[in-house]
Structure 1
Amino acid sequence: MFTLDHDFRFTYLNQKAAEILGGTVEDLLGEIIWRKCSIGYHSSFAVWYRRAAQTGQKLHFEEYFPPDDKWLEVRIYPSPDGLSVYFSDISERRKEREQLRLLNIAVSKLNDIILITEAEPLDEPGPKIVYVNPAFEKLTGYTSQEIIGRSPRLLQGPQTDPGELSRIKTALKNKDSVRAQLINYTKTGKQYCIELEIIPLLDDKMLCTHLVSVQRDITARIQMEQRLRESQKLEAVGHLTGGVAHDFNNLLTIILGNAEMLSELVAEPNLQSMAEMTLSAAKRGAELTRHLLAFARRQPLDPKVININHLVEAMWGLIRRALPENIELEFVPDPDLGITEIDAGELETALLNLVVNARDAMQDGGKLTIETSTAVLDSDYADRHSEVITGEYVMICVSDTGIGMDADTVSHAFEPFFTTKTVGKGSGLGLSMVFGFTKQSGGHIKIYSEPGEGTAVKLYFPMVRGAQQVNYQPTQESLPEGGPEHILIAEDDDLVLKHLEAQLRSLGYRVTAVTSGPDALKVLGSHNDIELLLTDIIMPGGMNGRELADRANAMYPKLKILFTSGYTDNAIVHNGRLDPGVELLSKPYNRLELATKVRQVLSQKR
């Protein structure tokens, strides 16, 4: 400290003051402060001294002192004799305060939660919270005023793992840091998942004074991991389905064909009944395989640009017949509905599945509504549904006033073989098929349901602009039609080959059958009257069906080609869609489907 008279001359100063001011006590006594030492007349310190002398009021300030590169805290006390000045070096304290300020700013901007509690009690009712940062308020909905003084146990709920809580408490009793993952609840009761680390703060005596918890909201990550697991499960089912589909569909093709022929040929009632039962079982097996392929996104699609309003109108009678009289049916079309590119036959099957599910949910009657509209799925929606691509969509919704579903049921609704129906009333593949078809078509599917309030299933398909739409015509039943043309079959499975040859001959066709691509080329080289090559895609011998077709067309450009396969991940199906201009007969098929497809391809102009 030092004192100044009314002329600002030193009348006293201690040794520490003299050192900071750049001189000795003897040299500075009696001298005017800004003439003898490093405080200049126009310096901020000199301004403060003159102000205190003029006003007669004590002053307190902090100021940077350049000669010593220090921050000083200064107190000035006016008196009848002049000024008494006390000052201290606060450079370290100011650094700490600046660091604390930066730390406070950083903590306030963190997305991670910082929560500090007292150290005790670890048993009930739990330690009291003394600090939370803004991230805590944002996530939980509790303000700092509401939560400080209360225990973090306020955030726990039914799904909070008691085993993890016990492990955390054991670690903290041993003064150890601990990492954990917990489910907590917001002020409104919404569940969220956090990843946390709790660090005990110890004083000089190694006593724990506080607990610091750093928490990160990992709800979105957990949901993404769940979606990834679901996607991997779907991919696994797809690989499994694709792996067995080829051989299984070959067998079903034979069973279907032979059962059909037996039911037509045998006259004895018991034998005919057995043949019809076999045929019915084979059809159910074929449908099961088709649904599995659809769920796994392995169903070959042949999309066309259509207006979904026209499709619903064309199948309205079919939908009405699927419903009992105690269910009211309404169609609410958007007159300005856009067009989309989709496989109309598969959409028809998907809609019928949704209609049947709605019917089964309204045992005592109700109302079923089919609605179409144009929708925009924006970035906000895409943020909540990671698989969605933003843009314009054509939406079709099937809603009912039935029993509805709770959230847990909805979360499993698309899983294969999951069903709420009684045994024998459903395979659990209806919604799975709808899901797979929608996803394979580049679309999005969403279920809205509440117990007792009904269910709405919305399908979104990307809108197509500037394309020529095709009027949808529902499939019409017809009788098998054959012809006299010469058909070459290339099929590596002997049983399928014999069956296919017999079916085509029964339709009047001339047939030559081989088991490999090279053999088929030899036949083509020696026959010039073959009009159709019917070839399996997956064949041994170093030549698949696509390669055979390319070489056959090089020999005979007008030769018609019809592929057949029970496995869709192959040379003519890419991204779930048939290559342009390709005709495919998917296994298993019945006699009518075989006859219709062969006749259709033979009738095309080339």
Structure 2
Amino acid sequence: MKTDALIQAGLNLIGQALSIYDSDLKLAVCNARLAEMFDLPDRLTRPGATFEDTIRHLAERGEYGEIDDLDQFVRLRVEQARAFEPHYMERLRTNGQYISVEGAPLPQGGWVTVYTDITEVKSQEQLLRTRSELLSEEVLARSEELSRTNRKLAATVSALEEVQRELTEMEARTRLTTEMMPAHIAHVDSAGRYTFSNRKLSSVMPGRPQQIVGRHISEALGTDAYSRVLPHLQMALAGEQSTFEFTDTGSSRRIRAAFTPDESENGVYILSMDVTEETQARAALQQTRRREMAARLTSGLAHDFSNLLTIILGMQAKLARMELPAEADPLITATLQAARRGGDLLGRIADITAHRAWRPEPVDVAAFLTDLHTLAAPSLPSGITLQVDASIPAPILLDSGQLQDGLLNLILNARDACGESGHIRVEAREMRETWIDFIVEDTGPGFSTAARRHALDPFFTTKGDAGTGLGLSMVYDMAKLAGGQLSIDTPERGARVILRLPLRRAATPAPGGLVLLVDDSPDLRATIRDMLTSLGHSVIEAASVDEALALAQGLPEIAFILSDISLEGGRLGTDLVDALPGKPVYLTTSLPPSDPRHVAAASKTAVLPKPFSAAELAKFLGQKEPAA
């Protein structure tokens, strides 16, 4: 209110009359000079007074001379005001006063009008006309016209300065918005040179420069990435919009780009985003759908085949108890072995088509590989050495069970390739803060061209009757389920299999921290609270996402959140991962692994299936099991 009073006092000091009307033709503000100039009553100088009432009052007072139809005159002036345009005019009032009227629209609607008493100026012009007989009529006319033109020019310059200010502010807001976007936004001209860019290219595609305006797109992206986007750039320059994805070789990130033609300048607008995590989650979901389809296709056949094997085994067992010629024993034994092998094969098929899900939990990779060495070494011949190597200090979110099965499978394949002597090496290493690679190398003969081409195909084997052809395909299936990939390389000697999985770092909570426990079951909260307190934590509780967010915002000392996925109130515990990016969020659930909510949660953070014990919770959190 004090500021408004100061502004009004300042306006009253202006020697010109001023009024501002809003887009509804209501008075927003005026100064005292306006009331004095037009002798307006108080009701027409208060904010909210209508333009129509003011015009009617002035017309009735004779401001505009004789008017035949007052209502028609007022209506016409109101219509002109609604279609307001910048103007400058001079007119003679009925009281003999000359005034200039200068109006300009406001960006937010409405207009401002300034009335200036120019009676003295007009008197001087008239005096000059009557006393300057030496000046021609044409010179006088041109002088007056020049004076009017100058006044109009001054009004136009003021309007242009206001427009320039608005454009400058708009450009600043636009640039700020582009800088806040988690994407690279740019424009290139027809020659492929950047004319605009925010500073996000290096965050979307690491290793690229930030300042790229003026550079050619090939120089900014590099040869490999430029070769991938060039066909789409040419399409956009030809007027065809293009949206595509590619893998940036330098950073191993998946990039989605949209090229939109700029027809006004024959250039291209570019929007590119890092969709690596989205692609990993999408691959995991696609693999889950493939597994479900395979399960539906094979379940009926597997059931019937199991029945047949059961019948065969039963009949062969009866034959074995009968008194038959000695030459029948090998046939019975071979039939039993074949039937049992068929049963083992069904079990392997069931593993592929079962409703398994990737269940990540914090894993100490170095300790994991040490345990893997302990588990795998006894199954290797004395002539084969096994070496494990990992220099990854922080815990990583991985499904230790599935990963262990997959690596054991690869080690046993390497053992079979080496024969009685050789060397197997298992290494774990990070790849550009995006992937973690588990590399299994051996000194065997390596993969042939045909074996390398078909190694991941189900039932393909180079071991003859001794192999099922399902080992590598199961590892491949596990990699795709996690959102990763499996690749085979043939170095100068031996073979190399690379299991690449998404890199998700696990924040290990320190003992004694404050834990926000979120679950809609009071009884279950009490049980889990006892587990957490036995691990040295303090606990506060919530039953819904909204309640948890309120507590988290008011208690910055919270170390981490442990929440169920299904909560009261309709919102899922998964929402806490996005709503609290600065806090570690761990989830628990009793949903089956195939449930979409479970799958979506596992793609964002670690999920602990219910029921679980205190020891399992401690392992899940990366802490030591409480003493008994």
Q: With structure 1 as the length reference, what TM-score do the two structures score?
A: 0.43
* Bigger strand share: 1
Query: As a proportion of its length, which structure holds more helix?
Result: 2
